[in-house]
């Protein structure tokens, strides 16, 4: 099925006519069809011969495509729109006046700032009540700063009317929203109360002029093209046309990826959602935030360690390396390993004191470190979970690793258990009485 099939009107479809249905459209059609047959069965109009939920279930191939997909605007494009909304001038409204739609500059500026900073739906914006802005009571410190000529408050409270999924609520917004709204309220002519089509109550609407409430389509058809024209940005990007609802996803994503981000539940309350599942369709982790989190996790450093390697250039230049003289030393911290195939040794980082091991407290190691022609380099080696624990957790993990490798042969041949049986302490060699 394609867009526009079995439809009598195609004027609102635009260039989408003839394109294949999207996954969400297929899901909506199947949901409607399931409900249709379920109602027929419940009313007794048809016999119950199948289960609509199972027979008309959405295919897995379609369900796999569905999911959160907020159409977030790029940061640079959104910054230009913010600048345009904060710097609207009278001459910017000339194209709107030529089209026959006339609104004062204060109203258009308050509408633009509310759209850019509040994260409200278009229906919620045009239904805002008169006096919807409240300022937070300042604490003693802020009150003393204001009395001393300090900075004004940066947050105000915005009362949001009954909306799509819940009752009325109050949300904090930037002070510029309250300032522009109060500037419009100061010059707003008296308007008669009008009925709210959603609640049926008669209210004094904020964005009301000449006894007519602002229409929802004004944001998409008038305001957003005006801001795009002033900011010098196109009306559409790679994700489609810039609409009023894309600002909601953009603001939610920026709050979720801020330096001190809002949690999912805080963002849910700020957006006015009933469940966190709805909030997930608006908040998207940006690649920059994800990259920082991945870097902080240290996946590479967790599995790969860098150790220092000493190369004895004198031994190499004299040709003694060909005769079996050690020329490469892997620094283990407590000693050096002269085994050429160190990466393949099962006892690396937990040396079993085999013939290839050179303790740092020995005279030979001190002579090695005193050489002036040593070349130092660093080698990256992958670690197993046990070896990584030995490196990070200290002596106890090293001893456990040595105990586990007690019967594993060392590169010299004997196992650590056999080496321990024949090992003679250094102090016993220097004191024959204790040796006896």
Same domain assignment for residues 206 and 123: yes
Whether the predicted pLDDT of 436 surpasses 50: no
Residue 304 lies in a domain: no
Whether the predicted pLDDT of 37 surpasses 80: yes
Helix (H, G, I), strand (E, B) or coil at 25: helix
Q: Are 170 and 159 in contact (CB under 8 A)?
A: yes
Tell me which residue of 232, 247, 210, 238 sits closest to 112, measured CA to CA: 247
Mean pLDDT over residues 308-336, rounded?
75
Residue 85 lies in a domain: yes
**pLDDT given at position 66:** 83
Half-sphere exposure for 282 (CA within 13 Å, toward CB): 28
Q: What backbone phi and psi angles, to 5 degrees, belong to 169? A: -150, 170
Whether the predicted pLDDT of 129 surpasses 70: yes
Same domain assignment for residues 36 and 119: no
Same domain assignment for residues 240 and 270: yes
Structure-block tokens of residue 93: 């409204």
**pLDDT given at position 357:** 76
Q: How far apart are CA 42 and CA 1, in angstroms?
A: 29
User: Which band of pLDDT confidence, cut at 50, 70 and 90, is reported for residue 435?
Assistant: very low
Same domain assignment for residues 82 and 191: yes
Whether the predicted pLDDT of 186 surpasses 70: yes
Which residues is 330 bridged to in the sheet? 309, 337
User: Which band of pLDDT confidence, cut at 50, 70 and 90, is reported for residue 356?
Assistant: confident
Residue 69 lies in a domain: no
Residue ending a domain, choose from 63, 84, 104: 63
Residue 213 lies in a domain: yes
Q: What domain range includes position 59?
A: 14-63
Please spell the DSSP secondary structure of 250-263, one letter per residue: HHHHHHHTSSSPPP
Helix (H, G, I), strand (E, B) or coil at 287: helix
Residue 143 lies in a domain: no
Q: How far apart are CA 388 and CA 161, in angstroms?
A: 56
Q: How far apart are CA 303 and CA 387, in angstroms?
A: 10
Same domain assignment for residues 320 and 276: no
Mean pLDDT over residues 315-323, rounded?
74
Same domain assignment for residues 35 and 96: no
Residue ending a domain, choose from 266, 293, 320: 293
The answer for residues whose C-beta is within 8 angstroms of residue 263's C-beta and 6 or more apart is none
Residue 325 lies in a domain: yes
**pLDDT given at position 422:** 62
Whether the predicted pLDDT of 170 surpasses 70: yes
Average pLDDT, the chain: 81
Same domain assignment for residues 196 and 333: no
Same domain assignment for residues 92 and 219: yes
CA 287 to chain CA centroid, Å, is: 7
Percent of the chain with pLDDT over 70: 77
Same domain assignment for residues 332 and 274: no
Mean pLDDT over residues 188-198, rounded?
92
Q: How far apart are CA 349 and CA 342, in angstroms?
A: 10
Same domain assignment for residues 80 and 107: yes
Lowest mean pLDDT among 191-200, 274-283, 344-353: 344-353
Residue 303 lies in a domain: no
Q: How far apart are CA 189 and CA 208, in angstroms?
A: 9
Whether the predicted pLDDT of 429 surpasses 50: no
C-alpha angle 6-11-15 in degrees, rounded to nearest 5? 90
Same domain assignment for residues 319 and 406: yes
Same domain assignment for residues 367 and 278: no
Residue 171: how many other CB atoms lie within 10 Å: 15
**pLDDT given at position 305:** 66
Find the CATH number of the domain harbouring 122. 1.10.443.10
**pLDDT given at position 413:** 73
């Amino acid at each position: 099925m394609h867009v526009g099939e079995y439809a009598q009107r195609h004027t609102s479809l635009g260039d989408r006519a003839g394109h294949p249905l999207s996954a969400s459209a297929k899901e909506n059609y199947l949901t409607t069809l399931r409900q249709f047959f379920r109602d027929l069965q419940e009313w007794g109009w048809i016999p119950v011969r199948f289960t609509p939920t199972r027979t008309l279930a959405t295919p897995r191939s379609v369900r796999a495509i569905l999911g959160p997909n907020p159409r977030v605007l790029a940061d640079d494009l959104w910054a230009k729109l913010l600048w345009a909304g904060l710097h609207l001038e009278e001459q910017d409204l000339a194209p709107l006046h030529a089209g026959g739609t006339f609104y004062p500059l204060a109203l258009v500026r308050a509408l633009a700032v509310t759209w850019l900073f509040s994260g409200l739906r278009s229906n919620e914006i045009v239904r805002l009540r008169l006096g919807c802005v409240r300022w937070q009571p300042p604490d003693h410190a802020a009150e003393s700063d204001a009395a001393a000529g300090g900075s004004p408050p940066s947050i105000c409270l915005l009362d949001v009317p009954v909306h799509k999924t819940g009752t009325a609520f109050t949300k904090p917004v930037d002070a510029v929203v309250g300032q522009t709204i109060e500037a419009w309220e100061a010059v707003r002519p008296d308007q008669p109360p009008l009925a709210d089509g959603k609640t049926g109550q008669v209210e004094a609407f904020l964005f009301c002029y000449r006894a007519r409430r602002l229409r929802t389509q004004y944001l998409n058809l008038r305001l957003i093209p005006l801001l795009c024209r002033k900011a010098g940005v196109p009306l559409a990007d790679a994700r489609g046309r810039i609409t009023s609802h894309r600002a909601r996803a953009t603001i939610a994503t920026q709050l979720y990826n801020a330096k001190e981000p809002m949690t999912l539940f805080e963002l849910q309350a700020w957006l006015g959602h009933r469940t966190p599942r709805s909030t997930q369709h608006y908040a998207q982790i940006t690649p920059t935030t994800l990259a920082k989190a991945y870097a902080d996790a240290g996946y590479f450093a967790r599995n790969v360690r860098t150790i220092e390697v000493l190369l004895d250039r004198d031994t190499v230049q004299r040709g003694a390396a060909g005769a079996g003289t050690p020329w490469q030393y892997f620094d283990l911290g407590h000693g050096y390993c002269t085994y050429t195939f160190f990466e393949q040794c099962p006892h690396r980082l937990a040396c079993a004191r085999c013939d290839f091991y050179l303790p740092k407290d020995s005279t030979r190691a001190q002579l090695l470190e005193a050489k002036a022609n040593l070349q130092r380099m660093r080698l990256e080696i992958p670690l197993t979970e046990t070896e990584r624990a030995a490196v990070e957790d200290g002596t106890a993990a090293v001893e456990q690793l040595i105990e586990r490798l007690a019967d594993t042969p060392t590169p010299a041949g004997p196992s650590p258990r056999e080496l321990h049986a024949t090992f003679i302490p250094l102090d016993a060699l220097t004191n024959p009485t204790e040796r006896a």
